[in-house]
Structure 1
């Protein structure tokens, strides 16, 4: 009988040690919204797909290129933007509104960057929208856009100006003045949870 009581007491002590270890381990481990998991990977994949869809839709419905042409020659910048681009929301264009509705209104920040090849052959970037530093879990989508010599810059009300790219002082240089092709630029949209 003494032996049975000893085994029971030993089992209870072992169970208490095991439960104490589990409680301690759970208290030490911090689970935060930035902790890597399959659900956060799923969210990143979903955001990347939405970003790709927004760029594709804007290219298809004709709102992406006018946003790139929303250029103020005298200020040598986008209309109403800071030196770092638009820093509070998307540009005041149809594409900018789509970005704001799709991302900002859902608590998702984004950066929109224009990449092009400069005269010296270096790949150069110009921020269109800079809403901060992307997190480690940011997703990106890219799209190539072809600009033609006869594309027209946009006024601040988004209407086409009389100035064509071949005549303008634009952020991107003419790749070859002898051809109608002005340049091919890459647009990158980076999105992340705020």
Structure 2
């Protein structure tokens, strides 16, 4: 009696090899990642946006327009000068930081929000300075800190020095007994429209 087991095992091995090869080919076709595929190009664009926002903030810190934006506070109305009744701007930020952000992102289909983070009554707070909507999932952010000394003065609507900053006329509280009133952080959140 002659056995066909050897032929069956050979046939099984060939079929298994074909299945394995075809599944590998199928998987490679479905998961091809190139430099121009959506995931990597999207990440590249987000990295560029984050670097641009960080660059604008660094330039604003250097020329003191970051501090100017933080101190452009109307203490009698408890909101930024010329802001909406909600306390923030919705179209443009009327400081040099706002002009730089508009030049960098305005005509490129990129939206951005600007926030200031600070402490009030010992609790961290985050207030919008410029709010243009809810960021998408691909939003990126960059931030820069601003030190506010005790002798710092708020800015008036025409950008001149006004009253001295204190806990009753400013959104942030005095932080400790030293020469520093508070340290706030300005954050820019950027996303594609």
**Which TM bucket (shorter chain)?**
0.7 to 0.9
Report the Cα distance in structure 2 between the residues aligned to 1:167 and 1:190, rounded to whole angstroms.
27
Taking the TM superposition and a 5 Å limit, the aligned residue runs for 1:1-194 are 36-82=38-84, 83-89=86-92, 91-119=93-121, 121-161=122-162, 163-166=163-166, 169-176=169-176, 178-194=177-193
- Superposition RMSD in Å: 1.9
Aligned equivalents of 1:192, 1:150: Cα separation in 2? 37
Change (3 A) 1:41 1:167: closer
Deviant stretches of 4+, over 6 Å: none
DSSP-derived class of the 2:107 partner: helix
Contact map agreement 2:139 2:191 (CA 8 A) in 1: yes
Asked if structure 1 preserves the Cα contact closer than 8 Å seen for 2:79 and 2:87, the reply is no
Contact 2:115 2:127 in 1 (8 A): yes
CA distance in 2, matches of 1:148, 1:104: 33
Distance of 2:166 and 2:123 partners within structure 1:
21
Tell me how many residue pairs correspond in the alignment. 158
Residue 168 of structure 1 deviates from its aligned partner by 5.7
Q: Deviations over 1:76-117 (max 9, x none)?
A: 00001121511112x211111111111123221111111112
- In 2, Cα distance between the equivalents of 1:133 and 1:106? 18
Greater CA deviation, 140-149 or 166-175? 166-175
- Stretches of structure 1 lacking an aligned partner (at least 5 in a row): 1-34
How far off its partner does 1:179 sit?
2.2
TM-score w.r.t. the length of structure 1 is 0.76
* Mean Cα deviation higher: 67-76 or 78-87: 78-87
Q: 1:184 deviation in Å?
A: 0.7
